Amino acid sequence: MSDIQILAPAKVNLGLKVLPKRADGFHNIESIFQTVRLYDKLTVSVLPEKNTCAVFAPGFNDLPAENTLTKTYSSFCSLTGCSTGVKIFLEKHIPSGGGLGGGSSDAAYFLKVLAKINKIDLSSELADKVASQVGSDVFFFLHSGEDQDKSGCAVVTGRGEFVRQILPRNDLFFLLVFPGVHSSTKEAYSLVDKTYEAGSILDCPNLADLETIYRSPVKDWTFVNSFTSALLQKYPKIGLALRDVKNSGALWADMSGSGATVFGVFETKQSAENAYSLLKKSWSNCVIA
């Protein structure tokens, strides 16, 4: 079989309400996830060796030996009985620890390739079993509705496993700024837990209102990310990036996921490009998506 190439998109969170920790240690969330035009590229080859998953990611030194790709392979093989060996060449463009879901997206799209290689029907049941063993954001990337012609967009609840597709807006342009801060998901949730313990509760929009807010003019958005205020106190550079994105003309700006990527939303490509020209002078790592 010839090599299979696939693009795995990043996502941003439009609002992200984190509820108090559950008895099992997870947190329920309420958020709109939308894919953006920033991709990791995976090239998957079949190996003669069975039960082998070799991952090569040149220039990406932070990839641990056990990662979302190897976890996906192990889970898929365990659930299906398949043993086909594979080699993955990963071109990493989505920053790790940026709140953009790069590792989860890689896992979801690799799973689709694994199913194709092994001629297995990737049912929702099988996909969700793998996602539950790999990471909560994997559910969204498996069920987002994203394809070459349109973004994926969904209201996501539970710990991430409940994904309700909604029609994506095609008039939004995103400018992503990477402030050079690495925020681990574990640390971010710990900081939010501390705010709950201190009796501080953010005033987040109701779940039922999220799609209505999304459909409204961007300048009127009232989304809230529970992680933003918690991380701003620890990482001032996130606040500086947010300030600069807002001052660049963005109609809306916030942090994505558990950070630390900051993004601005624009309703024309030209306004996003103008903002990019301003921001790249201070923030070398930024991109229109």
Query: Looking at the annotation, which residues are catalytic?
Result: 11, 137
Closest CA to 30 of 13, 42, 47, 43: 13
100 labelled as ligand-binding? yes
Closest CA to 72 of 43, 34, 103: 103
Instruction: Tell me how far apart the alpha carbons of residues 155 and 207 are, in angstroms, rounded to a whole number.
Output: 9
Q: Please, what is the Cα angle at 156 between 146 and 107, to 5 degrees?
A: 55
Q: How far is CA 15 from the centre of its chain?
A: 13
96 labelled as ligand-binding? yes
Q: Is the dihedral of CA 172, 178, 182, 183 positive or negative?
A: negative
103 labelled as ligand-binding? yes
101 labelled as ligand-binding? yes
158 labelled as ligand-binding? no
> Which residue type does 237 have?
K
* Burial per residue of 197-234, b for 16 or more beta-carbon CB atoms within 10 angstroms, e otherwise: eeeeeeebbeeeebeebbeeebeebebbbbbbbbbbee
104 labelled as ligand-binding? yes
180 labelled as ligand-binding? no
Closest CA to 250 of 151, 174, 168: 174
Q: Do residues 113 and 4 lie in contact, with contact meaning Cβ atoms separated by under 8 Å?
A: yes
95 labelled as ligand-binding? yes
216 labelled as ligand-binding? no
Closest CA to 4 of 83, 94, 112, 76: 112
Residue ranges of the binding site for ATP: 95-105
- Which residues are known binding-site members? 95-105
